[in-house]
Amino acid sequence: MSVNSLSSQEMWRVTMGAAVGTVIEWYGFALYGIVAGLVLNDLFFPTFSPAAGTLAAFAGYAVGSFARPIGGVVLGSLADRYGRKPILLFSLSLMGISTVLIGVLPTYATAGFWAPILLVLLLIAQGFGAGAELAGGITFVAEYAPVKRRGFFTAITCAMTSGGLLLASGAFAIISALTTDEQFAAWGWRIPFLISIVFLGIAVYVRNRLSETPAFLAEVAAGDRPHMPILQVFRERPRDLFMGFLSISGLNSTGSLVDTFAAGFIVATLGMSTDTATWALVCAAIAGMICTPFFGWLSDIVGRRRVMITGCVFMIAFAYPFFAMLESRNITLIVLAMALAYGIGLGATFGPQGAFLAELFETRFRQTGISVAREFNGVALSGLTPLVASGLIMLAGGGAGYVIGFLVLWQGVAIVGLAFAKGAIAPTRRSDFTTADRAEQMSLAYEPDTGKSIETVTANS
């Protein structure tokens, strides 16, 4: 099936089939991120001080994140070798089952040191599966999407990370409202983990009905499947891997601070209620779900790089006001700060990211390349940012000054990576992944920063 013959209804079905896994992925990670600084520090690390216990809980999150690039490389290579669909089903099942099992774990009071060990093992399994999930979803949608709407449709898949955050935040907001603090700490926190089995069942059913991508099937027909995708992408596209790694630094630092670190900061450091933190996250997630597809659509018109740089510049300017608004302890300002950071700062960098990364790499090692660029950056930032930020808060005696500098630093790194991308965008920039011949693409003129099609650029050259 050519992407050009795909109806609008079929394209939406493909997009939603990929997106449901992204919801499950980020539901699980957001659940842990929210609860880590609220109750898991006491339940699994009770021998530590409150601050050190929170640090230990986030360290478990970081350890799980270290499994993501391993899973990304292993499962991404398998997806490039044997197909997108089977790996999407496997990664989804591994993540979902790990999330459910966290909800039945014994605590330190009943299992002793085995409790944190089992928790970390499940986080590692969850991270391994998650390493291929969003990269796989992006690849799947990008290889189906019409060329001129690739940014928009891949952005919907990316926006579902906010959907997972919204689902997790909403679940915790409802459970915390219906239980006392004692009930929430005793058993209430488990409920959102346990009900994820329902979401998992629905997601597996939807995803199992999808067909393999036309681009991958064309590679199979051409006999162009690589034997070692990871070696080939490093050998043939090292610059693009490095560029992709740097370019998403702003996104990962912003996302980790807002959806993982901020909840604990609002409650543990500022002394606000759990309800305030969770409802602020709900509003942030709604803003992300709305703005991320918008910025993906915009990148189809003005180019990926320009939109992403705008998001990084916004977060540099907004870093100090963001923490000032949180530290005001004014609920309205806290909600507004979270919504602006997630809607504009994260949305503008995340919306174009799917198409940006998919267009860097050819079909034969596309998912491997996306996984390496995304997940190795994720280890450096998504996994470590909550841990580092918690340490910087302790170092500053409760102040946010060092964390602001940390956030600004990584936005600058992303801008450097995106500037480095000028003139280096792969020839897949405006091609149909299914039909374009690689050698012919290499000779085509294109403009990486405008939204113009190859035909338009060629006609004007």
Neighbouring residues of 45: CB distance < 8 A, sequence distance ≥ 6: 52, 53, 56, 57, 108, 116
* Stretch 352-377: mean pLDDT: 92
SS3 203: helix
Distance CA 40, CA 63 (A): 15
**CATH 1.20.1250.20, domain 1-212, yes or no:** yes
Can you read off the two tokens belonging to residue 289?
Answer: 């779900």
CATH of 232-426, one of 3.40.50.150, 3.40.50.2300, 1.10.275.10, 1.20.1250.20: 1.20.1250.20
| Contact by Cβ (8 Å): 366, 358 | yes
Residue 234 burial (CB < 10 Å; 0-12/13-18/19+)? middle
Which CA distances in Å does 176 have to 103, 136, 231, 406? Answer: 16, 34, 48, 32
Distance CA 297, CA 325 (A): 30
- Report the percentage of the chain scoring pLDDT > 70: 87
Distance CA 447, CA 306 (A): 13
- Taking Cα atoms as reference points, which of 100, 88, 99 lies closest to residue 20? 88
- Taking Cα atoms as reference points, which of 213, 197, 185, 247 lies closest to residue 1? 213
Per the prediction, the chain carries an average pLDDT of 84
Neighbouring residues of 183: CB distance < 8 A, sequence distance ≥ 6: none
Indicate the DSSP class of residue 147.
Answer: G
Give the H/E segment covering residue 150.
helix 150-178
pLDDT attached to residue 85: 94
pLDDT attached to residue 48: 65
Residue position matching structure tokens 């050190």:
52
pTM: 0.82
Residues 422-432: pLDDT tens digits? 544 444 455 56
Least confident residue range of 41-50, 82-91, 180-189, 313-322? 41-50
Does 279 or 201 have the greater pLDDT score?
A: 201
Count of C-beta atoms within a 10 Å radius of residue 204: 17
Q: Residue 171 — very low, low, confident or very high, per pLDDT cuts 50/70/90?
A: confident
Strand extents, DSSP E, 201-337? none
pLDDT attached to residue 271: 86
Whether the per-residue pLDDT at 5 is higher than 90: the answer is no
Indicate the DSSP class of residue 422.
Answer: T
Q: Residue 221 — very low, low, confident or very high, per pLDDT cuts 50/70/90?
A: confident
Whether the per-residue pLDDT at 395 is higher than 80: the answer is yes
Can you read off the two tokens belonging to residue 160?
Answer: 């579902």
pLDDT attached to residue 229: 92
> Hey, what amino acid is at 1?
M
Least confident residue range of 34-43, 75-84, 272-281, 283-292? 34-43
pLDDT attached to residue 336: 96
* Stretch 192-204: mean pLDDT: 92
Q: Residue 149, by phi and psi: left (phi above 0), alpha (psi -120 to 50) or beta? A: alpha
Neighbouring residues of 20: CB distance < 8 A, sequence distance ≥ 6: 160, 202, 203, 206, 207
Whether the per-residue pLDDT at 167 is higher than 90: the answer is no
* Stretch 111-139: mean pLDDT: 89
Assess whether the region 1-212 and the region 232-426 belong to the same CATH fold: yes
Can you read off the two tokens belonging to residue 424?
Answer: 């280096």
pLDDT attached to residue 372: 93
Query: For the chain, what are the domain ranges?
Result: 1-212, 232-426
Q: Percentage helix, strand, coil, to 5, in the chain?
A: 80, 0, 20
pLDDT attached to residue 424: 46
